[in-house]
Amino acid sequence: MRYFLSIVAVTVLSIFLFVQTQASEEEDKQSIIVEVEGDVRDHKAYLEDHHPFVDVVATYDKLFNGLAIQGKPDKLKKMESLEFIKGIHTVQTYEANTSTAKKVSDEQSDAVIPSDLNNTTYTGKGVKVGVIDTGIDYDHPDLAGNFQGGYDLVDLDDDPMETMPDQGVPTLHGTHVAGIIAANGSLQGVAPDAEIYAYRALGPGGAGSSIQVIAALEQAVEDGMDVVNLSLGNAVNGPDYPTSVAVNRAADLGMSVVLANGNAGPDNWTVGSPATAANALSVGASSPPQRIPYLYEPSTEKQVPLISMVGAPTWNLEKDYPIVNGAEQSGGKIALLQRDDTSLYEKAKEAENHGAIAVVIANNTDGAFQGMVENDQDPISIPVASISQKDGAWLSKQIQADPLYLETAYQEAESSIADFSSRGPVTVNWDIKPDLLAPGTNILSTVPNGYQQLQGTSMAAPHVAGAVALVKEAKPNWTNEQISGALKTTASRMETEGSKEDDPSEPIMQGMGSIRPKQAIETNTIIHDPMLTFGKVSAYKETETIELEIENTTNQEQTYSFDIPKKEKGLTWNLPQTFTLDGGETKTIPVEVSINATQLREGVHQGWLTLSESDEVYHLPYLFVNQTADNPKAMGFEFALKPFSEDTFLYRLYVTEPAKRVTVDLYDPDTLVHDQTLLEMEDVQTGMNEGELDKSEIDRAGYYLALITVRLEDGKYESYQTPLYIGE
């Protein structure tokens, strides 16, 4: 019996193992990237001499040791026996949903335009920005002028075009990201004169392997990119995952790297690699101020919240209208419809055809829902919104008793952190992530054949990549550390929505806060690493010191002062109350904290220190972990058939704390009855654990719920579960 296995609990932007099978004219050749030990050039020469039917397309030796090769599967299979080959990354199947595009003129009025972030006189001219993603539609009229080239790490050629429908599940993500950075046409990006290079690391459906991402990053370094954007990630919250390590190395080589923080919020510990990289800018998503409509019935003071549907005009009614049940009698009225098996578009279109002024569709289960009524051929021209099942029942009952007129009222919502935006901190080293916030909801940008609104930290990150290009143009002599420090130093700390003044959102939600490019360019001060992570406290009492590097960018003397924090039991700060920097001087300032572990609750402690210079106030987030925290102890379980093998599986698991044993048990997903123990791991390492398993040790194919249980060194047990499919 032959087996294959895939893990299906993943986010939209998770990194998958992937290989691109070439077209029939290429005689079913495969393109793969292998990791090797030793000198890659020697191995290239060996393959060319002894395996002439395998083509070595590229070599990598900056961020990892590897070779990109092409050949027929039977020829590539022989690679497995070569001692210098450490790992081969090959076939996986996958599926992804497609999206449709709209023209700018058809877009809803709540669209966020990327160029709105740029309040400077700079355009990113002369700055090279690499986009590691699904490729780019370089024929798009808003991108064609700025596109300068790139590379395809999926097909291993010089054509980094998005996946087209005839090539597999089509993609649009990279084109959207590129437009946010540097669209220059009907739509303007943040840095419309920046030079765009595409590195296609994610293939059909937006899937790719971590090794393809690393190879793309190395190619970008080789090509001399000033800035690289990676709006991709996985679910492994660890600082030493391979993609995070590669990002740090790329940053050390002088490239600014900008990363999406992930879309797994609002829970803590959800930031995933490579956004866990210490030397890169990880970006969370903010929502702009919004005018949120709701229906209001004056006599009962009833409020009915509305959730506008994608594909319909914004709800902007300004007077009261009668509401009726059904579409047939809805001319000049609001139509109340019920959700069922009929498509939302068909329901709304029927009401529109009967002359309805607007449509509300009540849910058929508890709670609210986000609907879509897109149709490019015959779009909806009236507002359409969803309401809860409970509100729908109330409205229906009122309509049956008497004619019902409803007003539309509006609630003004302040800018906030998007719920989906992943939170920190990072496990193992306890870094604060994200570093910055940028717009990430309702972002209008380019897609193949048009424009579309998307949301996610994938859309927030390219705003920051564009901002880096602006600063780099304005300050060509600044190092990447200065650029990063300036953007962080001048970010605007975000307050908790609806709170009183001076009630900021937690550091692990926002980092330094919302990006402000103009202030970064004009700043008088750069705090080079303003986010203060003191690590984990395990002793009875510990004193930790961080050397804070502060730069005076002016020609004048500047005096700074720390606000001494209020006294807190178990926590004592030792800060220099005032200090002076000469013009152009950079000084290292010690920030010391003494922690009495017994006087503080266990877990994550975070807050803010305040540094002032003249009228400027800088808020510095800090974090430490007392004894232990509620972080996941294991994550990122992978289990797949070994490349070119029919009887050996490879497994990987990331463990965040010292552990004695890990077991992986398989359960029936319906009955939750234990089926078999898949793995028992001893000698567990903090970080990545890898190994092999013979297929004879797997009893049966089928769908399972895998329970991963970790026995920690202190004797405690932690576990998590993930769906698993072992197919015949």
Sheet holding 358-362, edge to edge: 302-305, 290-297, 404-413, 321-325, 334-338, 358-362, 384-387, 307-308
Task: Give 13 or 220, the one with higher predicted confidence.
Answer: 220
- HSE-up of residue 265 (Cα within 13 Å, Cβ side): 25
Identify whether the C-beta of residue 243 lies closer than 8 Å to the C-beta of residue 274.
Answer: yes
Residue position matching structure tokens 């006294």: 567
Note the pLDDT tens digit of each residue in 465-513.
999 999 999 999 999 999 999 999 999 999 876 555 578 999 999 999 9
Tell me the helix, strand and coil percentages in the chain, rounded to 5.
20, 35, 45
Q: Is 166 helix (H, G, I), strand (E, B) or coil?
A: helix
* pLDDT value for 595: 94
Task: Give 658 or 209, the one with higher predicted confidence.
Answer: 658
Residues 6+ apart with CB under 8 A from 479: none
192-211 mean pLDDT: 90
Q: Which secondary-structure segment (H or E) carries 635?
A: strand 634-641
pLDDT at 265 over 80: yes
Identify whether the C-beta of residue 202 lies closer than 8 Å to the C-beta of residue 217.
Answer: no
pLDDT at 727 over 90: no
Note the pLDDT tens digit of each residue in 417-435.
988 899 999 998 999 999 9
pTM confidence score: 0.79
Q: Which range in 48-62, 411-425, 508-522 is most confidently predicted, on average pLDDT?
A: 508-522
Residue 134's pLDDT band (boundaries 50, 70, 90)?
Answer: very high
pLDDT at 548 over 50: yes
**Out of 172-176, 255-259, 693-697, least confident range:** 693-697
* pLDDT value for 33: 76
Angle value at C-alpha 694, between 673 and 659, nearest 5 degrees: 65
Q: Is 246 helix (H, G, I), strand (E, B) or coil?
A: helix
| Range 330-336 contact pairs with CB under 8 angstroms and sequence separation of 24 or more | 330/354, 330/355, 330/356, 330/357, 330/359, 331/355, 331/356, 332/356, 332/357, 333/357, 334/295, 334/358, 334/359, 334/360, 334/406, 335/359, 335/360, 336/360, 336/362, 336/392, 336/395, 336/396, 336/399
Q: What is the DSSP string of 504-568?
A: BPPHHHHTT-B--HHHHHH-SEEESS--EEEEEE-SSEEEEEEEEEEEE-SSS-EEEEEPPPPPB
* Residue 708, strand partner residues: 664, 720
Cα distances (Å, whole numbers) of residue 456 to 264, 287, 413, 420, 610: 10, 10, 19, 7, 31
Identify whether the C-beta of residue 635 lies closer than 8 Å to the C-beta of residue 642.
Answer: no
3-state per-residue secondary structure call for 169-190: CCCCHHHHHHHHHHCECCCECC
% of the chain at pLDDT higher than 70: 91
Residue position matching structure tokens 């993930």: 722
* pLDDT value for 91: 31
Residue position matching structure tokens 């576990």: 719
Question: What does the block give as tokens for 81?
Answer: 């026996």
Return d(Cα 169, Cα 175) in angstroms, integer. 15
Residue 71's pLDDT band (boundaries 50, 70, 90)?
Answer: confident
Task: Give 91 or 230, the one with higher predicted confidence.
Answer: 230
Return d(Cα 324, Cα 331) in angstroms, integer. 10
Q: Which range in 24-38, 279-293, 409-423, 455-469 is most confidently predicted, on average pLDDT?
A: 455-469
Q: Which secondary-structure segment (H or E) carries 251?
A: helix 242-252
* pLDDT value for 8: 28
* pLDDT value for 366: 77
With CA atoms as reference, report the closest residue to 17 among 28, 25, 4, 6: 6
Note the pLDDT tens digit of each residue in 365-407.
777 676 778 776 789 999 999 999 999 999 999 998 888 999 9
pLDDT at 20 over 60: no
Task: Give 283 or 74, the one with higher predicted confidence.
Answer: 283
Q: Is 361 helix (H, G, I), strand (E, B) or coil?
A: strand
* pLDDT value for 594: 94
Return d(Cα 186, Cα 142) in angstroms, integer. 7
* pLDDT value for 284: 96
* Residue 664, strand partner residues: 679, 708
Return d(Cα 268, Cα 284) in angstroms, integer. 13
Residue position matching structure tokens 């015959």: 378
Mean pLDDT for all residues in the chain: 86
* pLDDT value for 695: 84
Return d(Cα 580, Cα 662) in angstroms, integer. 54
Identify whether the C-beta of residue 99 lies closer than 8 Å to the C-beta of residue 447.
Answer: yes
Cα distances (Å, whole numbers) of residue 12 to 9, 107, 181, 206, 234: 10, 24, 21, 8, 9
* pLDDT value for 501: 57
Return d(Cα 41, Cα 62) in angstroms, integer. 13
Residue 584's pLDDT band (boundaries 50, 70, 90)?
Answer: very high
Residue 6's pLDDT band (boundaries 50, 70, 90)?
Answer: very low
* pLDDT value for 94: 23
pLDDT at 551 over 70: yes
With CA atoms as reference, report the closest residue to 440 among 290, 288, 312: 288
Helix runs in 301-379, H state only: 344-353
With CA atoms as reference, report the closest residue to 428 among 651, 201, 656: 656
Structural domains of the chain ordered from first start: 19-89 (3.30.70.80), 113-288+417-489 (3.40.50.200), 290-413 (3.50.30.30), 524-626 (2.60.40.10), 634-727 (2.60.40.730)
* Residue 592, strand partner residues: 545, 574
Residues 6+ apart with CB under 8 A from 715: none
Work out the end-to-end distance of the chain between its first and last CA atoms, rounded to an integer number of angstroms: 7
Residue 17's pLDDT band (boundaries 50, 70, 90)?
Answer: very low
Residues 6+ apart with CB under 8 A from 133: 173, 174, 177, 178, 198, 199, 200, 201, 202, 229, 230, 231, 232
**How long a stretch of residues is the chain?**
728
| Range 639-642 contact pairs with CB under 8 angstroms and sequence separation of 24 or more | 639/5, 639/7, 639/678, 639/693, 639/724, 640/4, 640/5, 640/6, 640/17, 640/92, 641/3, 641/4, 641/5, 642/80, 642/692
